Structure 1
């Protein structure tokens, strides 16, 4: 039941944090580790951030052991922008905006990139993001603020 419920968000997390084509392996290993350590899970805690922390750790371990940086493979399950049917100009503009935004996210420093990804692509709360990234809540707030400021500067006022 837990695999069915959290598999999609675990895959998105692994891919967004840099697992690329190895996201499937990362997620499988994360679920195995979660199962092995389920007895250590605090019942009063939320399962999703706990699992995503394991996914983030596995992704970090995999990318570090690889010895090179992998370009982010962004798989966004976002709703398509609303536009008039048959509006090729609107579709082209939306595609261009999305591509520029994703490229700008890829260039952010790792801490800021991960905070922005968790908050806005995975739609986690600040507390959940702190738990997933294993850092204080204040760090999440400052990294997100700095990351968004850089994105606004890079991409323009489209993010306002």
Structure 2
């Protein structure tokens, strides 16, 4: 990180290589859908430009993911639209063979993602960061630019909303 801050482009290239997949997954799961690649590219460009403001005692991963989250918000600001992933999952679910036990795992994942996507943007973002991206509460807070207490309360509220949706599906099986 110190080399990248000092202007070593090869060192920054190493950071890009190390964090591209996570950044892409983050953008996609936060709602960028098919535009995730563009969001990630823009986030890395902005991160490079802002290296001078990076605090040496900070962790690069949540700092970068915060930029990715902001870029994803910018992508959708001012317009409400359905998430492309939700549409793809609906198609997958319609073609699942319920007599084949192997498809139940795919069906469960699709159901879980549909349930998460039904949450408000704020709740979906904390659930995505905390559980789908496996970030700690502190990393989630830093990524979404929230207080840790806000992350905890949103997680609690979101899980309360998700529980009945997932129990209903479990009873249908």
The normalised TM-score by structure 1 is 0.84
Aligned to 1:147: 158
The normalised TM-score by structure 2 is 0.78
Aligned to 1:13: 26
Please give the secondary structure, in 2, of the residue aligned with 1:123.
Answer: coil
The answer to whether the aligner puts 1:44 opposite 2:60 as a matched pair is no
User: Whose Rg is larger?
Assistant: 2
Shift of 1:95: 1.8
| Higher RCO structure, 1 or 2 (CA under 8 Å, sep 6+) | 1
Runs of 5+ unmatched residues, structure 1: 75-87
Higher helix share: 2
CA-based RMSD of the aligned residues comes to 1.7
The answer to whether the aligner puts 1:101 opposite 2:112 as a matched pair is yes
Matches within 5 A, 1:80-91: 89-91=100-102
Shift of 1:98: 1.2
Matches of 1:30 and 1:46, distance apart in 2: 16
Tell me which stretches of 4 or more aligned residues in structure 1 moved more than 6 Å. Answer: none
Aligned to 1:80: none
Matches of 2:149 and 2:57, distance apart in 1: 23
